[in-house]
Structure 1
Amino acid sequence: MKRAGLIAGGVVLVLALLAGSWWLGLVSVAVMGAIGWTEYSAWARASQELEPWPWPAELRAGAEAMVRRIDPTPERIIPLAANQPDLAQVASTFEGLEQLLAERLPLWPWAVFASVLVLRRNAVQRRLRNCALGYQPGRGRPLNGQQYSHLVWKEMSKICEIVHQLETFMLSPAFTGALNAPECAADADSIVHIASRLMDYHEDILRAAERCLQTPVEADVIVFVQDVCAFAMCPLVGYDKFIATMCSRVAEGQELLPYANGVIELDEALLGIDLPDGLMEQINRHTKKFNP
């Protein structure tokens, strides 16, 4: 059977900041906080207790999905062909990844890339689950609202800087070049390296989220922590969706390749990080409350 190539350009991997460069907006807010807060509405100034911010359905669903491992084998849309050739599949074990790299079956570059993402993500499954649960305090003296707000702005600014680095990395020639090379010329070490580096950013974001959600606080600060949890979930949920989409794209390639006479194109896969409307305003209200 003639082997058809999977066009690398068909799957464009870019960081989609759906809410614009919100990391810049957050840095601007942090600077504003250092020189003095703007006036809020009368009801916000008068309110002593803030209700938890209502999570959008999509963000909540993404956080709920985070408690489960990512399945690298989505259900097939097209049934297996009678003469189905051997094709690369996303591996769920390190042994499977080694086999992928050794055999280099059709679709192997994308399968290797997705496999590294799945393995690294599922390795921190328990930590992701704890973050999705919200406030999970560790040991230590509880922080008051002012102390926690200082910690939060430091960690949130760190997350924003990581997102900026992530955007630059995914648009770099090294990243796009490793994934856009023809299958016959693809470099396994480069693919493993960029996938691992991508998940290093995920690890950095996860650590910052854990510091926000596992630091013990006084009772009147818990709602503040819950709202910070929504902020911390945004990039982690974006990663989960991207990894699941990459697994789906490899599965689609497996379905289409046996029927193709030439190059096939797949839909793009986006790593989208969406900051919902109203969330930063809510976090600002908490900060104002504890820093009058």
Structure 2
Amino acid sequence: MNASYAALIGALELAQHVGDPDWVVIDCRADLVDKDFGRRAYDTAHLPGAFFLDLETELSGPRTATSGRHPLPDPASLAARLAAYGVGNHSQVVAYDDASGMFAARLWWLLRWLGHRRAAVLDGGLQAWMAAGLRLEDETPATRAATYTLALQPNRVDSQYVRQHLGSPEILLIDARSPDRFRGENEVLDPVGGHIPGAINRFFRDNLDARGCFKQASVLREEFATLLGARSPRQVVHQCGSGVTACMNVLAMEAAGLTGSRLYAGSWSEWCADPARPVARGPG
């Protein structure tokens, strides 16, 4: 079997596997404001053989009055969609975007939730691919149906779990939003500004270097170890605005060998939808 990638993969490494029958590349480009951006960008040009999955309609479920902005999709529906693209239980899946992994990490985490370990994010995304002088295409590849069997993993928590553990040393809640939004300032995506009481802030972009690639594993390990202190990675719960960019922090920890952290998928947008839930503001 080919080498297995479970966190990140470089552009030149991926290029060696273009056309491999057991490799599936998924374009996850998106824009939180322009909902049609990803599909338009994919139709214009994409990595050879890549398929497209839409953040709003395929990597998320229907929004409700009490959910966050990007509820988790139905796992069986997602598995069926992946299988239609040729993803089987032993396929190597590579997700990419043009935002340094901001959206690709969502698919990576969803695959881990489904029980799929051979899933990676293209480090540096489309920009790294282009910088390496690699080609794009505008053709939609032929589908190649596969069979996928679910094995859902306990790598997520819900709002009830978070509320029950507010102030508890048993968990470390890490908020991936920008520092100003964490403090409750400049909130433009959600109706309420602030953060979940007890959370600390680790902006998802702090995982990246100046090129837009993930920092070296040793650097990420040191930075997260400072946040964790004596806690185990399994005590960490990640969240953000809607459960998308927090996956960048999960991915960074996994790339650093700090395995087992979980995601509060509803995140701030779900939390603040219930006025009975407490809100904190300021630096935390």
Shorter-chain TM-score bucket reads under 0.3
Q: Which has the higher contact order (CA 8 A, sep 6+)?
A: 1
The structure that has the greater radius of gyration is 1
Whichever structure has more strand as a proportion of its residues is 2
**TM-score (norm. length: structure 1):** 0.24
